[in-house]
Structure 1
Amino acid sequence: MAEDPVAARWRWHRAVASYLAGAKPLLIVLDDLHWAGEETLALLTAVLAEPVLVVATHRGTDPPARLTGFLGRAARHEPVRVHLGGLPETEVADLVRVTTGEEVDPRTAAAIHRRSGGNAFFVRELAHVLAAEGPAALDAVPPGVRDVVRHRLDALPDTAKRVVRRAAVIGTDVDLAVLETLAGETALDALESAVRHGFLTEPAPRRFRFAHALVRDTLYHDLSRSRRAREHGEIAKTLEGLRPHDVDALAHHFVLSEEYADRAAHYARAVAERAESRFAQAEAARLWDAALTAFDRSGASDPEKRLELVMGKARASAVAGGLAQSRRHRAEALESAEKLADPLLTARVIGAFDVPASWTESDDPGLAARIAGRRRADPRRVARRSGGRAVPSAGHTRRRTAERGRTAGPRGGQGSRDARPPAR
């Protein structure tokens, strides 16, 4: 007569547990317990009843049903639970050194920590990229990380996948109100599923954040360029209704939508002006360029508005250190202004190069010669012609007279000296 399989299984578990207990003191270490099968976990449950020390590690997110069942059975033994977060920045540097055999500077370690969130696997993958391609490649997603993220994404329901991909277009931080407007009431269920699977965290009610920048970047770049652009446009229109004063986010999404060019130019200009007010000139130059590109793409025919964008780009580029590029923009703007035969506009272009610097000679001799040789471009004369519409600033007058002094000979030099006292 065959033995009852249930009873045989029970006796087998008891025999193994008793054997291990007889070998005390004994420490059993089990890594990656989330990969263990049903039988292994059932046997481990029997072992927990014996005086044996067991240390087991498992992934904290997306636990399989068999593991959650085991953890419930193990709870009666009152195990000590230790939650391990991401590595701190100092230990990231240590892990990179162990992985590559080379020291890493604090700035690079901080970049790896920011990209990986301290996840040890992600840190090692980025360390391999660093060793092979240098720090410039750290903005990319390592192939190993991309494969892991894609594999884990398959565990999400189809609806959750769509919502999480849309969340990746919103950015690292995700506002539930934006997603609910776009995806409906299913957005919250999808985000909660993504939190359980480790894609997102929930730092505050209705606020979600991608657990790692690399996860968000993988999801974002797996979308086609056309889909990303369309999503950016939908998000931008939604933000206009929900947060119309969030010009930074509006500029970001409208620019990347590559569709609503007029609004992209408007918001990019607003953010560029804000960046200049914060003395972030390199950022301002990038945003002025984005505003100009969007304006040209919009097909608008307002030459004066376009000149204002070019002048903003020239000004920010100069202060950020790109003097050569700034001179090109200034020359382009001056040529465009002269074609319009508007002396006041020409004077504004000349004065737009308002850079806090001092030169012993003209920074652009060719342009200075053109200015000195054209009385119509003299801001003082233009101000008189304009009926008081505009009065050049003291800084503009000093630059103008200095250029004349350097290019117009003795009479120009005398005019420059005569003009200095009123300009102060």
Structure 2
Amino acid sequence: MRLIGRDEPFGLLRDAIKQGGLVLLTGESGIGKTTLLDAVLAQARQDGALVTAGSCWSSSGETWPQLLRALPGVPEIAGLGALASSLADIARQQPLVIALDDLDHADSETLEVLGFLARHTRFERVTLLCACPDSPLPSARGRVVPLSGLGLEHVRELMAQVSGEEPDAELAAGIHRRSGGNPFFVEELTRLWQTTGSTTAITPAVRQTVRSWLARLPEPVVRVLSAASVLGREFHCDVLSPLVGDPVPRIQRRLDAALGLLVCDVDGRYSFAHGVVRDTLYEGLDEDEVCRLHAAAVDAYERIPGRAGGRFPSEVAHHAYFAGTALERARVLKYLLAASRDPGRRLAPEERIRHYRRALELVDDPHTRVKVTLDLVHELQLTGATGQAWPMFHEAAALARDLDDPELLARAALTLYRGPGGDGVMLAEAHTRLFGETSGQSAAMDLAGRIAEQIAGLARSKGDDEALGFGLSARHDVIWGLGTAAERERLAGELAAVARRTADAEMEQYAADLRWVALLELGDPTYVDHMNRFVALAESSHGPRASAVAIADRSIVAALTGRFAEAEALLDELRTQPHPAFMAHHLRWALLLQQGRFDELARFHETVAQDYPFPRLIEAITAVQSGDCSVATRYLADRPELPRMLIPLWLRLQAQVAVAANDPELRRQARAELRPYEGLWLVSLYGGDISGPVAIWLATLDAAEGDWDAAVSGFREAQRCADVLGAVPWSLEARTGLAEALLATKDLDAGLALLDEVEREATRIGMPHLVDRVGRIRAAQRKPDAEFRNTGEVWELSLGGLTIHMPDAKGLRDLHTLLSASGEPVPAQRLLSVGPLPGADEVLDETAKASYARRLAELDAVIERATELGEEDRAVAADREREALLDQLRAATGFAGRTRRLNDEAERARKTVTARIRDTLRKLDARHPELARHLRESVVTGASCSYQPKEQLRWRL
């Protein structure tokens, strides 16, 4: 087996042998001294040295005779001076290496000889290489090469060598902590894991080694270490002191005597260098002593300021649980619930879940049991463990029914509804029990909102802050969506007040996070104060979940305010945090989009689909923003069913496509759906996406309609909204639109000055796509040779001094698209908004047909279940989706259900577009012959169409 992780000490020993003299290889038992010594001696032989080696485990007086027998010309019985001379004579012929292992077991005679030879051969080519835990020759001049534990990666490599398989990172980290990197311990623990699957047990050989270390220490030191083992791998002397009844200075002196087994950091915190030492000490305590010490630890944390009060609730809960009967049951339950609901210094979701499970072991009151079980269900839902959550939920719901408690039943229904999938199956029952009346045909969201509001109202009247906190947060989650920000801000404010009354740090963090998002959506600049408040709370808690959210929030605001480099650095940091992958991907996409980094976005979209649940939505927005309307048009036509948290993104996309596609009906629809939210910001994903003020999209629609006065007013309002929040990128977008609108109203000086301003600032913060847009707007100000533009009601067409107006027609739209892509081929299918589809493949392959069949079967089941439950809205929605799928299947099949082929679609597109363009040109022949002639000569129709003029014209489009 090759050496692992010992390249540096191997090199040091090899160099030392070349120099000669006394060399001491030191390190604890099992650290690999013998293995390294053997490897170094083998290398010395290959390098031409004469090597003799032995061990000090031999009988007294036998060590040196055994070593000297291997050397030619050295008498066994000789004085020390003669011995040194003989060794020097040999060394003059070839380098001599004398190796002694286990020097700590050497007798005094052996050490005396070694010391003499070290002093009298140090100028010869004689190397005395010895291995021992510590140097037994303090007066001898020698070189010391210490061996320490292996690093994590080398531990993982050694585990793979021992077990024959690559261990996962978590297992390797656990073995590394317990072994301290000691190779012997690593090998023993790895074999134990391989044979038993245990990662906590200790082998007899490891236990024996640890006990031999402890046997060398004074009894008072071992007693202190045993008490420290109860505190865990790391501990502070101020907590340990009450456990052993000794003052801190005396404890520190005793711990210093064991510094080989302990490590002390600069803050005075001690830790066991090997987890197995702590484990061996802990298992040596009897059960009563374990309980006593854990109970004493709880009291110690309670008495020491800053320990149990805020920094270490999880540690206190751990000690309380293992104190057993040494602490009152109610007190233990209090600590467990406090820890499970606290953000914690390092509290991970699995720790919260463990505390909740332990709390359930101790809960006697059935009402409390329902609440704790539902809290555990919610935590399991957050971690994706829905399989574990579901039976526990049913247990809680059944107990709530048995208790005949409408509020508990309502809490159960809301917990289920707020989980993955938004299952509202219990809401009608809970509503009836809570209000004493049936729910009728109310939608699930409305029922959930009323139930949450009622829970909060009842809690206020009873002064029950715990129930009030639940009701407020549930109401917030249920109503979340565009247009509810004012109520959500009020709910978050009340939730923060409850948190402060109850000293609930996690709730206060949660409320601050909700509040800044609601304020931003309202366009309130104080949002930043609440965001900073949340970040401060999250960082002070050191909780991994809160810290990750704080990093994400800071990146969102940095991007919003144009600090792009800072936002990118924070997103890089977020990669190392426990944060949902899809959210991190979305933030990365939004940042790239804001900066117009379309080449990077193309690569991003190629890789993100597997970790992002709505890839087509963001692909469509990227496409339309970069000038490709076809992808976005197809996506809009599919009318995908999106969750409420994404509706603002959908409204943004709809407005962008309406403008890019020059579609009057879609513009009307986009305006109607945006208008109710004037004055607000489009915020999606609970604050994870900020798509600008609603004003900017309404103004963009006005500009597309040619209503330039309304556009000027709208863009000014959008700029005001952005400037109030310090949202520099959106302010630049608004000012660009405003400049374009001013130019259209012939206010050239103001428009051009604004373009200069945008260009400077966009260059400064890093929005090159906006700089390019400014250049295109300037270029368009030159007098065009011809016009072909939609004024909103009619098409205005000009060439050679003649201007005519024509009503809207599809052929005119086709020609406008071709003029906009001068010189570029445009597939006829894109002109039909079907998109470029190649060749003669089937429109639907067998896989697609199977997918349709599966979804239709699912919808049939949904309709049947919803009908049985009286959920008419749900049944109608599912039936609409079913009919839409059937329409798509009919469209994709020919006569008698024969699968249509894509060349059928391409041919249909070619014929339709060609006919539309020819019809428009025939009408132009009578109204504008010169324009008709130019277009007939320049436009090529077919499967791909294009505008290919012999002489380029500057068009105003």
TM-score band w.r.t. shorter chain: 0.7 to 0.9
The CA deviation at 1:171 is 0.8
Q: Which residue pairs with 2:475 in the alignment? A: 393
Q: Do 1:347 and 1:382's aligned partners in 2 also have CA atoms closer than 8 Å?
A: yes
Equivalence for 1:18: 85
Compute the displacement of 1:395 (Å). Answer: 5.3
Tell me what 1:29 maps to. 99
Call closer, same or farther: CA 1:84–1:234 in 2, change over 3 Å: same
Q: Does 1:315 align with 2:378?
A: yes
Q: Alpha-carbon deviations, 1:181-229, whole Å to 9, x = none?
A: 332134223212222xx22122235321101111111111222333222
How far is 1:262 from its partner?
2.1
Matched, 1:237 2:304: no
In the alignment, does 2:174 pair up with 1:111?
A: yes
Q: Which of 355, 364, 368 is residue 287 of structure 1 equivalent to?
A: 355
What is the rounded CA distance, in whole Å, between the counterparts of 1:406 and 1:276 in structure 2? 43
- What per-residue deviation string (whole Å, max 9, x for no partner) do you get for residues 390-417 of structure 1? 666275589xxxx999556485325998
* Rounded Cα–Cα distance in structure 1 between residues aligned with 2:404 and 2:864: 25
Alpha-carbon separation, structure 2, partners of 1:274 and 1:190: 35
For residues 127 and 410 of structure 1, the distance between their equivalents in structure 2, rounded to whole angstroms, comes to 55
- The SS at the match of 2:199 is helix
The answer to whether residue 270 in structure 2 is matched with residue 208 in structure 1 is yes
* Residue of structure 1 aligned with 2:333, choices 262, 265, 285: 265
Number of residues paired by the alignment?
Answer: 380
**Which blocks of at least 5 consecutive residues in structure 2 are unaligned?**
1-76, 440-446, 460-470, 481-861, 878-957
1:250 aligns with 2:319: no
| Closer, same or farther: CA 346–294 of 1 in aligned 2, 3 Å | same
Question: Which whole-Å CA distance do the structure 1 matches of 2:201 and 2:874 have between them?
Answer: 58
The CA distance in 2 between the partners of 1:290 and 1:94, in whole Å, is 37
SS at match of 2:84: helix
Q: Secondary structure at the match of 1:53?
A: strand
Amino acid at match of 2:210: V
1:347 to partner: Cα distance: 1.2
- The CA distance in 1 between the partners of 2:477 and 2:388, in whole Å, is 22
2:373–2:396 contact (8 Å) kept in structure 1 = yes
Aligned to 1:194, which of 258, 277, 285? 258
Alignment correspondent of 1:57: 131
Query: Deviation string for 1:304-331 (max 9, x for gaps)?
Result: 3332211111211233333343233222
Match of 2:204 in 1: 143
Q: Distance in 1 between matches of 2:869 and 2:400?
A: 29
Shift of 1:31: 2.2
Pick the aligned partner of 2:184 from 117, 121, 145: 121
Pair 1:277–1:142, CA change in 2 (3 A): closer
8 Å CA contact retained: 1:275, 1:283: no
SS at match of 1:54: strand
Larger relative contact order (CA 8 Å, sep ≥ 6): 1
By how many angstroms is 1:386 displaced?
7.5
User: How many angstroms does 1:334 deviate by?
Assistant: 2.4
Report what 1:162 is aligned to.
223
The reply on whether 1:413 has 2:863 as its aligned counterpart is no
- Shift of residue 372, structure 1, vs aligned partner: 8.2
Q: How far has the Cα of 1:162 moved from its partner?
A: 1.3
User: Percent identity at matched positions?
Assistant: 29
Match of 2:279 in 1: 217
Do the aligned residues in 2 keep the contact of 1:251 with 1:268 (CA within 8 Å)?
A: yes
- State the distance in 2 between where 1:387 and 1:254 align: 33
Query: What SS does the corresponding residue of 1:80 show, helix, strand or coil?
Result: strand
Contact persistence 1:376–1:382 (CA under 8 A): no
SS of equivalent to 1:249 = helix
Report the secondary structure of 1:206's partner residue: coil
The SS at the match of 2:235 is strand
Contact 2:103-2:132 within 8 A present in 1 as well: yes
What letter matches 1:144 in structure 2? A
**Could you say what the CA RMSD is over the residues aligned between the two structures, in angstroms?**
3.6
CA distance in 2, matches of 1:239, 1:387: 35
Structure-2 residue corresponding to 1:172: 233
TM-score (norm 1): 0.77
Which of 234, 238, 243 lines up with 1:182 in the alignment? 243
Contact 1:405–1:413 (Cα < 8 Å) also in 2? no
Q: Distance in 1 between matches of 2:162 and 2:105?
A: 25
Distance 1:324 1:104, change over 3 A: closer
Q: CA offsets, 1:236-286, max 9 Å, x none?
A: 111111123221211111111123332322222222223599994333222
Deviation at 1:152, TM superposition (A): 2.0
- Aligned CA distance change for structure 1 residues 142 and 269 (closer, same or farther; 3 Å): same
Q: Distance in 1 between matches of 2:456 and 2:413?
A: 20
Question: 1:6 aligns to what?
Answer: none
Which residue identity does 1:213 align to in structure 2? G
Once the two structures are overlaid, the 10-residue window that deviates more, 47-56 or 124-133, is 124-133
Residue 284 to residue 178, structure 1, CA distance change in 2 (3 Å)? closer
Unaligned runs of 5+ in 1: 1-9, 419-424
Select between 228-237 and 287-296 the one with higher mean Cα deviation: 287-296
Per-residue deviation, 1:345: 3.1
